[in-house]
Structure 1
Amino acid sequence: MKVDAFDFTLPEGLIADRPAVPREAAKLLCVGAAITDRTVADLPELLNPGDLLVFNDTKVIPARLRGLRRSAKIEVTLHKNVSADSWHAFAKPAKKLKPGDIIRFADDFTALVTDKFDGGEVALAFSAAGPQLMEKLMAHGEIPLPPYISSLRAVDEQDRKDYQTIFARDEGAVAAPTAGLHFTEDLLARFGARGIEMVATTLHVGAGTFLPVKVEDTVDHKMHAEVGIISETAAAKINACREKGGRIVSVGTTSLRLLESAADKNGIVHPFSGETDIFITPGYRFRAVDLLITNFHLPKSTLFMLVSAFSGFEKMRTAYTHAIENKYRFYSYGDCSLLYPADD
């Protein structure tokens, strides 16, 4: 499909720069046979006993660093962990960098540029490794808020809390799995009381999620790979839910992409550990997910393409028009939707 088909106009005033308080007070647009307005607090009543929520327990790290290459200011955003001391990163301005350059972030914290790729991407080898590197990132890095938020205001300490889900456990993401930002302990207790179960998977979201689609046709776009994990225990729980007639409810597009990467043609989810670069566009046949909880996405983004594939292209265009007219808040800190699959 042509990428321009996924374009729409969003008023800047609808871009959320802070999350709703409390989190479950956010609006929830239910997109099924009809389009209805609810709130996230209504979710337990909208799901059935025996359904299974699959969430992403990745934890966002302070992956944005500002430093100097001699006297030139350089900003890097880590996006893929390669080894204990090495990451791939997007650099600005990348044209100032070449292999062999040293970027200094602090007196005791530097990175060597070991390679340079297209699109502003570089390979970095840090002066610290493993837990020590994570300590340096915590001390000198900042939470990598998406550009549509950081262009509205400065990143602050509140973002270290706000841009993290309550599920966050496994460090490695450089962007939050934002559907999970709406969940609170009170909401989880209500799911449990209704007999709705939960299971964790892990997909370390990369900064590539924010990159614009630069091709004219979706067939020419290449996704950045992200690392995901589904344990044997999690896979067994997911398959058991389906066998008992429950629905698999993906909390976010990251969980959905991982589940679909791990599912066979019969919809059986297998244990998974490795990279996925799955790119879902209209025409894709979903195998593992019955319902999707997700935020509102950018025009012409791979995520808007994904939700259009899940609920139907025309249905999602109608839903987004409704959301804009009713002043839903968009993007990472914004409101939410509960999507039902498109009619075959």
Structure 2
Amino acid sequence: MDSSRNRGRVHRLLLPLTAGICAVALVGGCSGAGSSSPAPGSGSTPSALPAASPSNGGSGLQTNYEQVIKNVLPSVVQIVSGNDLGSGIVYDDKGDIVTNAHVVGNAKQFKVTSATGGTQLSAKLVSSYPAQDLAVIKLDTVPSQLKPASFAPSSKVDMGQIVLAMGSPLGLSSSVTQGIVSATGRTVSESSANGGTGATIGNMVQTSAAINPGNSGGALVNLDGKVIGIPTLAATDPQLGNGAAPGIGFAIPASMVTNIADQIIKDGKVTNSGRAALGITGRSVVNAGFQPAGVAVVAVTKNGAAAKAGLRTGDVITQLGTTPIASLPALSEALASYKPGQQVKVGYQRDSAKKTVEVTLGAM
């Protein structure tokens, strides 16, 4: 479900390994260098890239594309997890690789191959954080030529920017597609079926760059050669039998990626998600006409945001800020756009009375 409120669907981009082989047959169809020790998440600094100008026109832009691919693709890897295949990004020169939680699944050990080829390497799980569909794995042996990627601040990402998606779609390693940033600030919910995490993720980057199964965990890169996000989900169109909706993909923003990855690498777990929480356990309810009607509070967390505001078991939440709330997924979506400490008005029903209370949001 994407945050534009158009009731589309999204699917994860993890590729079953055996299915990938079949897909290649039907349609004809990640790494290393540098000895510096950049700070986690900062990666290596790519060389200056030529920009297109009136004097060089399209040839300058093509040169820019080629240079970005040459600089960044060695930092993108292919990850094999059991019978599934996805992508990852070299995060630092110590062998840490960031990817999607749904790529690692329940596995603890992995096989990793650079996008530019070379020996297949073994890796182990550091930690997975399904709530934001991110994970870090670590190479057992760190190659001397390992090349970390460089990440761009999410505040620098704007609609219309040209981007390249790099990864292993349909098992085709070293694949690159191009598009633009179609939108920012999307809130997208992932299905929990078929290995999905069920995560609701805010501030995602929407892109027109073609991303397909196997791209999960790879890199969405700007023309400065910096990663602006991790491709994670693609929209599906029910009118096409839930087939992929062309040109609508979503990437977890780089600032969220580096925040979570830094915590996992430092502490072995996520200690501060940066995400807002009401501090309740809830369930979706329906009205007399069997239509979604809100979220019933099943329990409140002691000293949590809801408890401090006076919400209690049995209340039915119907609004958060200006957003109507008809179901638990809708509440998760709405909360994803807030930060801990922000104040928001919560509309709810207690018995037959409609009430409103201001809540200072807590943290997940």
Q: Calculate the TM-score normalised by the size of structure 1.
A: 0.27
Q: Calculate the TM-score normalised by the size of structure 2.
A: 0.26
Higher relative contact order (CA 8 A, sep 6+): 1
Which has more strand, going by share of residues?
Answer: 2
Which has more helix, going by share of residues?
Answer: 1
